[in-house]
Chains A and B, each alone.
Chain A
Amino acid sequence: AQSVTQPDARVTVSEGASLQLRCKYSYSATPYLFWYVQYPRQGLQLLLKYYSGDPVVQGVNSFEAEFSKSNSSFHLQKASVHWSDSAVYFCALRLSGSFNKLTFGAGTRLAVCP
């Protein structure tokens, strides 16, 4: 069965620093991959998604992610974080033909310190 692993439950960075949130997936083929963000007391919002083509995808708020088939990874990156980026970030995958049924990772809580 497919799975998504986010190995870091919590990440703390200083404002202005660069960021990488890690995501590894387990699936024999290439799935559709997503990063969502959840701000306090809100639902999830899509940051970016990948399903084919250029392995580096651009998202909202200057986030980007790089797909690596050899490493089964889809890491999220940002060159310079802002305090407002503090939130929980979820990596997710969807299999082809699975009626948009997303499998989510456990999430990474990001804290940006001033």
Chain B
Amino acid sequence: ETAVFQTPNYHVTQVGNEVSFNCKQTLGHDTMYWYKQDSKKLLKIMFSYNNKQLIVNETVPRRFSPQSSDKAHLNLRIKSVEPEDSAVYLCASSSLGGSAETLYFGSGTRLTVL
């Protein structure tokens, strides 16, 4: 099956802990993304990688760091979580070439910070 896979589906943790989310795509794409979706469903891009190189880095707190081992994997680490980090984190992938490439999304990781 070709798709975007995210683990875990849910994660509950306490303020100050470190968390790590995994994302893998089997679509053969060269570009991957992390989006944050808040409780009001607002979506904002956080990072984008093309062939393991960071190409988009929006203004996010330094405690967030993406990690890419190859073009099929893009993980997200949060060093010391805070309550406002509670959200759904969506991973996506696409091909970079072309004029209007489709993004394919995973089902998300829901983070709850107590």
Chain B residues with CB under 8 Å of A13's CB are none
Residue of A nearest to B45 (CB): A101
Complex interface: stretch among B13-21, B59-67, B69-77, B105-113: B105-113
* Selected interface stretch from A17-25, A42-50, A63-71, A73-81: A42-50
Instruction: Give min CB distance, B93 to chain A, whole Å.
Output: 10
Question: Chain A: interface secondary structure?
Answer: strand
Q: Which residues of A contact B40 (CB under 8 A)?
A: 106
Residues of A within 8 A of B51 (CB): none
Question: Which residues between 11 and 42 of chain B lie within 8 Å of chain A, taking CB atoms?
Answer: 31, 33, 40-42
Which of B78-97 touch A at CB < 8 Å?
90, 92, 94, 96
Look across to chain B and name the residue whose beta carbon is closest to the beta carbon of A49.
B100
Q: Check: B99 CB closer than 8 A to any chain A CB.
A: yes
Q: Which chain B positions have C-beta within 8 A of A52?
A: 99
The distance from the CB of A96 to the nearest CB of chain B, in whole angstroms, is 8
**B 40-63 binary contact with A (CB < 8 Å = 1; else 0):** 111111001010000110000000
Is the CB–CB distance between B99 and A51 below 8 Å? yes
Q: Which residues of B lie under 8 Å from residue A43 when comparing CB positions?
A: 4, 90, 92, 105-108
Task: List residues of chain A with CB within 8 A of the CB of B100.
Answer: 32, 34, 49-51, 94
Answer yes or no: A88 CB below 8 A from chain B CBs: yes
The 8 Å CB contact of B105, one of A44, A88, A96, is: A44
The docked-state distance in angstroms from the alpha carbon of A101 to that of B88 is: 18
CB atoms of B56 and A101 under 8 A apart? yes
Q: How far is the CA of A46 from the CA of B90 in the complex (A)?
A: 15
Query: 18 interchain pairs (CB within 8 A)?
Result: A32-B100, A34-B100, A36-B103, A42-B108, A43-B105, A43-B107, A44-B103, A46-B103, A49-B102, A51-B100, A100-B48, A100-B101, A100-B103, A101-B48, A104-B43, A106-B42, A107-B42, A107-B43
Residues of A in contact with B (beta carbons under 8 Å apart): 32, 34, 36, 38, 41-46, 49-52, 88, 90, 94, 96, 99-102, 104, 106-107, 109
